[in-house]
Amino acid sequence: MILDTVFSPTLLAMIGLLLGAIIGSFLNVVIYRLPLILRSEWNNEAKLFLGMAPDTTNSLSLSTPRSRCPDCGTQLKAIHNIPVLSYCFLRGRCSNCNSLISIQYPLIELLSAFLTAYILISYGLSDKALFCLIFTYSLIALAVIDMREQILPDQITLPLLWLGLILSLAGYWTNSFDAIIGASIGYMSLWSVMKIFKLITGKEGMGYGDFKLNAAIGAWLGWQMVPTVILLSSFLGAVIGLFAIVFLGHDRRSPFAFGPYLCLAGWVAMQWGDQLGYLFSYLSV
């Protein structure tokens, strides 16, 4: 159902910016808390396995307790929880202890706001826009969690994979035949790269989260887009990685997350994949 005849692009942009900033604020909570929740669950599983008493004092979830300053623990007031604006109004510092608030929070909110506005203008207020937004928010959360923690949680990659397969039944971005092959090739291609890399260097260059994420992207976009996503993510990884080593003094032996480049390439492929495919085939001739 497309209602965009009723809404002008300006109105769609305003709705998108507002909605995107609010969801970006929730994405910050997911990015910050999900790894902590997972770590506490893994800890308890290990303790149970070893016959030790699990730790029941940790009650952190995505909804409770309310957001706090990570330094002094003061609970944030509603006025300090407004996306982007609170950060500017507090000049990036906690109102209680004056410690610096990470620039990550407003940046994620702004990114989410602009991408939401872009998607609503491109697709109108439609079911396709809704699914594109779910894809986008999942990739933002995955990219930043992988950058910070070097993990791509199954709690996001697997539902994204299933949703991609289910949506292929209605043929939003691809049909089910191409989606199932896309998921398999997405997983197998990176898995083979990791195995070959391990045979040559003895090190594991990628994790299983990368394979699952690539499978999810293959399920959403179809197998035809998998080579484009791998080429583009490797290219971005090489260029940005080299830039970080040469200009930012990044240690070349320190862990290197591939997930953010897959997320970026997957998102770009969803929007401009066909044009990129033509470009790559043109360059390879």
The residues that touch Zn ion, with contacts defined as CB under 5 A, are: 69, 71-72, 94, 96-97
Gap between the Cα atoms of 18 and 35, Å rounded: 27
Residue 247, φ and ψ in degrees, nearest 5:
-100, -25
Q: How far is the CB of 98 from Zn ion (least distance, A)?
A: 7
**Which of 2, 97 has the CB closer to Zn ion?**
97
**Which of 48, 72 has the CB closer to Zn ion?**
72
Whose CA is closest to 191, among 220, 226, 162, 240?
A: 226
Alpha-carbon torsion (207, 213, 219, 222), positive or negative:
negative
Amino acid type, 60: L
Gap between the Cα atoms of 25 and 85, Å rounded: 11
Q: How far is the CB of 156 from Zn ion (least distance, A)?
A: 29
Q: How far is the CB of 99 from Zn ion (least distance, A)?
A: 5
Q: How far is the CB of 80 from Zn ion (least distance, A)?
A: 10
Q: How far is the CB of 144 from Zn ion (least distance, A)?
A: 22
Gap between the Cα atoms of 195 and 190, Å rounded: 9
Q: How far is the CB of 48 from Zn ion (least distance, A)?
A: 35
**Which of 73, 249 has the CB closer to Zn ion?**
73
Q: Strand, helix or coil at 152?
A: coil
Q: Residue 239: CB partners within 8 Å, gap ≥ 6?
A: none
Gap between the Cα atoms of 273 and 85, Å rounded: 35
Residue-wise DSSP of 228-272: HHHHHHHHHHHHHHHHHHHHS---TTS----HHHHHHHHHHHHHH
Q: How far is the CB of 216 from Zn ion (least distance, A)?
A: 37
**Which of 101, 270 has the CB closer to Zn ion?**
101
What crossing angle do the helices spanning 127-149 and 154-168 adopt, rounded to 10°?
A: 150
**Which of 68, 195 has the CB closer to Zn ion?**
68
Continuous segment of H or E residues that includes residue 91: none
